[in-house]
Structure 1
């Protein structure tokens, strides 16, 4: 396949993807539809990884035998793993429908300045630059290798936003510079310093747990806002030199107790969102029966807290904040409030921490 034929094939596939996103109601604004029509995702994802029997399999545009599989996958509505560290997923190109929902939720206007946390492939930064112009977009990533590759791909596609290598969680505030901050990686907590970067009417759009929160600036160190209605699952924000993988601690040696929360509850996506608020940064590992239902599980957090939920209906826990106990409390709240939808939940953020709430900021969860 020559480059001319590749570009023609990509344009056809891209138009089909955009039409599908529009038909499904994920892409409703003409300015963003034009961006998705014009920005070539395949330039930003020249290869990706798929799990195989022998580990992650690299699918590349450079391999003639893989080119059809590669270009087809790039223009499907799917997330694609693009960077590994020690064999583990460290970066990915997000699902286009989720990207479209987040970009439209930014509610940007001409002339606004946007800071993106998590450059990744550079594709999202290109969409922002298409909409707002290069001078109004700054994108940051912690990994120099990722930043260098993204900058080259942006240039090839005809976009030149500011691309910076830095730890997004510890950026020094530039008072009032940005009208919007968008994180394209999951963050356990919104750094208070980000509010100092925002204009008075600015807001942060960030994946928190299994949802996306839109947090409006209230002062230079505080903010509050609600979650969007849709689910979202992103790679975690990484510090410099960090793979983003939270290794499982040793299983607890504490006595087991009976639990009234069935282990299969963790497969309930609606509750998984609430669980991600109750125990920020939780990691799951579970065993399935022949019907695909969880029968036992291990859950842990970065501070070393862990729960071993067993098939006999008992659980053993260890650490500073036993996670299964927190989930039992969260589930009682969830059921007691008749399984509230995501967009009924919100967050208040200040120097004392991050507090989730239901319906109103005074009704803490």
Structure 2
């Protein structure tokens, strides 16, 4: 049976009303949000993300119970594990590897999952267990399977679900494999960012069922939520819904060490040119051009080294090829009318990026929800614009 304080009950009700008022939470899910409190699934120590500063701040229940409770019910993401569990102490670690998503993100994804009574759901990425608990309350324990790769995270989720009086099937394993013993599923929901859709998810989804997943390219850490409907032929097809950003499946993280030999010295013997494009033209991580460039320039990673805050230094946009040692860097000087471009290797990565950006502009700057994805039975993936026949160009 769920045990919580009067204050927690009031905070949970306020959060539910807030999410209903913004439209991200539907009435069908309101009872679950009231009955399955987020606080029950959070550890005594977590790191609350400050939306203003972009920093994660430790919150310790034994030291600040009121602050812990307040953060538990705020509409913010919280990190619950750093560095695959190897991190110790209260200072943030190097890489967040498990978290509790913003309640508004959880609510909107459950809304978009579009479940009905009696449906079976596979969740990839149990995390704290809160999402699995909400699903189990709505659909019944017997209809929910959740897979988590990290043993300690899975154990914490199991304990939290038990405290909540819920018992969906928890599987400790690699989420890429799904859980074939429980297939077929009407819905698959993925709570980690992916760069490829595993064929096992397609195989385990009932024809007419759907897969909801944050998908993106290694061009950036950005994801877009895609909803794929699986057809009789086993193919998944569907539109992107909106931009999101999730921690990535462990085997699909980008290893930046692979690029350490690309730039032996800067600029070295790289070809130099000029561009009138600005850093703003490339978009930021939640803007459509940032995402579209990744779709049209394959096997390319991008990062920006911004000028130090409050200084007038240069900003550099870097581009690295996965398959060769090609690289490009664009140096944007403060107030300069144009930027200096350096390109090295067989691929002219900046030229490809400019072509992708020009293509997007020539199509009227379509928003992300006009794009979609087709994933064949063998995992072949094709992004498109408007309809599956409008396959996007590749400028590689």
Q: TM-score range by the shorter chain?
A: 0.7 to 0.9
Relative to the length of structure 1, the TM-score reads 0.86
Number of the residue aligned with 1:270: 288
Is 1:246 matched with 2:255? yes
Number of the residue aligned with 1:40: 37
Bigger Cα displacement from structure 2, 275-284 vs 261-270: 275-284
8 Å CA contact 2:41–2:157 kept in 1: the answer is: yes
8 Å CA contact 1:286–1:296 kept in 2: the answer is: yes
Aligned residue runs from structure 1 range 125-274, under 5 A: 125-171=132-178, 173=180, 176-209=183-216, 210-219=223-232, 221-228=234-241, 230-239=242-251, 244=253, 246-248=255-257, 249-250=259-260, 252-253=263-264, 254-268=270-284, 269-274=287-292
Deviation at 1:262, TM superposition (A): 2.0
Report the secondary structure of 2:318's partner residue: strand
Residues 135 and 292 of structure 1: CA distance in aligned 2, closer, same or farther (over 3 Å): farther
Q: Deviations over 1:231-285 (max 9, x none)?
A: 211111113xx9x463252253543443443223344423223234345784534
Number of the residue aligned with 1:8: 6
Is 1:287 matched with 2:306? yes
Number of the residue aligned with 1:356: 383
Report the secondary structure of 2:74's partner residue: coil
Number of the residue aligned with 1:338: 364
2-structure distance, mates of 1:290, 1:191: 44
Q: CA RMSD in A?
A: 3.1
* Structure 1, unaligned runs of 5 or more: none
8 Å CA contact 1:283–1:301 kept in 2: the answer is: no
Number of the residue aligned with 1:60: 60
Deviation at 1:338, TM superposition (A): 1.4
Report the secondary structure of 2:382's partner residue: strand
Residues 149 and 296 of structure 1: CA distance in aligned 2, closer, same or farther (over 3 Å): same
2-structure distance, mates of 1:281, 1:149: 37
Bigger Cα displacement from structure 2, 284-293 vs 37-46: 284-293
Aligned residue runs from structure 1 range 302-321, under 5 A: 307-312=328-333, 313-317=339-343
Number of the residue aligned with 2:318: 298
Aligned residues: 354
Report the secondary structure of 2:271's partner residue: coil
Residues 287 and 22 of structure 1: CA distance in aligned 2, closer, same or farther (over 3 Å): same
1-structure distance, mates of 2:168, 2:12: 23
Residues 145 and 340 of structure 1: CA distance in aligned 2, closer, same or farther (over 3 Å): same
8 Å CA contact 2:20–2:27 kept in 1: the answer is: no
8 Å CA contact 1:204–1:215 kept in 2: the answer is: yes
2-structure distance, mates of 1:90, 1:151: 18
Q: Deviations over 1:299-334 (max 9, x none)?
A: 557767754332252344567877544432321122
Number of the residue aligned with 2:27: 30
1-structure distance, mates of 2:233, 2:181: 11
2-structure distance, mates of 1:327, 1:336: 14
8 Å CA contact 1:205–1:212 kept in 2: the answer is: yes
Relative to the length of structure 2, the TM-score reads 0.80
8 Å CA contact 2:82–2:98 kept in 1: the answer is: yes
8 Å CA contact 1:113–1:137 kept in 2: the answer is: yes
User: Larger Rg: 1 or 2?
Assistant: 2
Residues 325 and 113 of structure 1: CA distance in aligned 2, closer, same or farther (over 3 Å): farther
Q: Deviations over 1:167-210 (max 9, x none)?
A: 11234645951011010111012112211101111110000123
* Structure 2, unaligned runs of 5 or more: 88-92, 217-222, 265-269, 334-338
8 Å CA contact 1:207–1:213 kept in 2: the answer is: yes
2-structure distance, mates of 1:207, 1:292: 36
Query: Which residue of 17, 20, 33 corresponds with 2:18?
Result: 20
8 Å CA contact 1:176–1:198 kept in 2: the answer is: yes
